[in-house]
Structure 1
């Protein structure tokens, strides 16, 4: 079944405006032509995409599914156009990388810089996502390579070991748990408010799981994106936090916080590189994965 972009963009416009007349105007179509295009598409698909109401139209379940794919298609077309245009400027490839915040904060910048120096004609774009979001982005084709904290939970991915890191506890200076310099267990933190990353972040999911196993409640009162925001909230005395140790040590020099080791088996974490499973990876993707695996082995 063939689709034309004019009709698909009309469907998107109707869904967004909830009005066929306004959608036709937006897409520079006569109302009669727009109505015919919509009717023909619904006939070909064998489903109703919109329900006509007194105040406009409502998208059906089938219509919402189609709209999701249209948006994904438009994003891919935009990326295609941008990437092809870049070839005229000497760019030979575009690599979309999605990584979780800890990987970006701990080790990824140096590896990206080294790869860019060795491959100046490959443009890299980087998106900060939770580990769960990274896996979904790679599996759905919105990113070429993902970097996240294992384990991998999406069967559509192939993974490679990358780097490792430890978690630590950040406390406000003067906190009742501060001062001794000894490692803390996670159970000791459950009596206090927790400042952390949003749901979906690997460390949040791990803390939630551990609290449930202990029959306790995770007092995740403040959830923000960004380790610097977490450190500032801990500095303000609004809770305690579990952060990548390397990141926490950097913030210890900037804010009034104290960093202590976290004495838990899951405090030692391994990062994974991931790409969508396929018989042969694109050359740029394979080259990037090989480079990062090699640098991690050297480290």
Structure 2
């Protein structure tokens, strides 16, 4: 009966993993020549493999033109599945290659600047001390980019601002941080202990790049007040933001814990924000807890326990693999 069922099943296309990797490289590099250089293979060989793939599927995948390539609808679908396959194979290879001795594996983590500047490095150090055979690939990004990386299987889990929409992802509460206002030396507001965000909108701001969690919070808060944030300078890091503020080019909003680690030997002043959104949740997002690798499930359990430094966390028991309390992110559009 089983053999008959297999015999009657519709034949599946035979996909070559290397060809799929080359296809992803062409899309990411926007050039067959650049992808060939990256993969150390002749450009003609890549063209031939993609042509054979198109012939097998009976659909055009790429539109080639003088400025590079564009994906067709079929190519876009293939890219999504190819990245999923690539991620699954990478995780499988990392786990099985060294599985003979203990819990091993690679976890791909994407996190925003706040998490990386606050407690995440210390927590990862504690986790890796308990699991020396596990490796972590940590990538920094803005919260919207992190959501996209997790959704497209370029990361196993992401840590991002809870105010950012994450449609289709499972959400685990991670941490909560407090946002404060940073003032340069001698600023007119320096004598105050706290301030409402509305009273800041007549001043120039130094902000992180557009789309970051904090920038989005400030922009939406200003819009709710019928105003806008006067951004004078945008930077790509908290360190750069604080240096620019220190030199008098504007004020800024940063996590208190980030500021506490950067205020030594500076003339910066911190004011408490009076608005309720100053208390900002950070979330862990993932596609599906049940399909995560065992090391990734253990990392989530470690990050979400009450005391991440407790060495009793995830020794060898099954409780670490059962999973934390999950909820699905609402299907809301991003701005």
TM range (shorter): 0.7 to 0.9
Partner residue in 1 for 2:135: 123
TM-score by length of 2: 0.73
DSSP 3-state at the match of 1:279: helix
DSSP 3-state at the match of 1:255: coil
Judging changes above 3 Å, is the alpha-carbon distance between structure 1 residues 290 and 41 closer, same or farther for their aligned structure 2 residues? closer
Judging changes above 3 Å, is the alpha-carbon distance between structure 1 residues 39 and 82 closer, same or farther for their aligned structure 2 residues? closer
Partner residue in 1 for 2:15: 3
Is residue 221 from structure 1 mapped to residue 232 from structure 2 by the alignment? yes
Partner residue in 2 for 1:153: 165
Is residue 105 from structure 1 mapped to residue 120 from structure 2 by the alignment? no
Report which of the two has the higher share of helix. Answer: 1
Distance in 1 of aligned mates of 2:50 and 2:309: 58
Query: Which of 277, 284, 289 is matched with 2:300 structurally?
Result: 289
Query: Which of 221, 232, 235 is matched with 2:243 structurally?
Result: 232
**1:10·1:27 contact (CA, 8 Å) conserved in 2?**
no
Query: Which of 11, 22, 31 is matched with 1:16 structurally?
Result: 31
Query: Which of 20, 35, 42 is matched with 1:27 structurally?
Result: 42
Further displaced range: 72-81 or 269-278: 72-81
What is the aligned-residue RMSD (CA, Å)?
3.7
Is residue 246 from structure 1 mapped to residue 246 from structure 2 by the alignment? no
**1:49·1:62 contact (CA, 8 Å) conserved in 2?**
yes
DSSP 3-state at the match of 1:294: coil
Structure 1 gaps, min length 5 = none
Deviation at 1:117, TM superposition (A): 1.3
Judging changes above 3 Å, is the alpha-carbon distance between structure 1 residues 203 and 277 closer, same or farther for their aligned structure 2 residues? same
Further displaced range: 116-125 or 4-13: 4-13
Judging changes above 3 Å, is the alpha-carbon distance between structure 1 residues 6 and 29 closer, same or farther for their aligned structure 2 residues? farther
Structure 2 gaps, min length 5 = 1-12, 311-335
Partner residue in 2 for 1:201: 212
Judging changes above 3 Å, is the alpha-carbon distance between structure 1 residues 156 and 278 closer, same or farther for their aligned structure 2 residues? farther
Distance in 2 of aligned mates of 1:164 and 1:10: 41
Deviation at 1:9, TM superposition (A): 6.4
**2:171·2:285 contact (CA, 8 Å) conserved in 1?**
yes
Deviation at 1:203, TM superposition (A): 0.9
Query: Which of 290, 293, 316 is matched with 1:279 structurally?
Result: 290
Deviation at 1:254, TM superposition (A): 3.2
TM-score by length of 1: 0.81
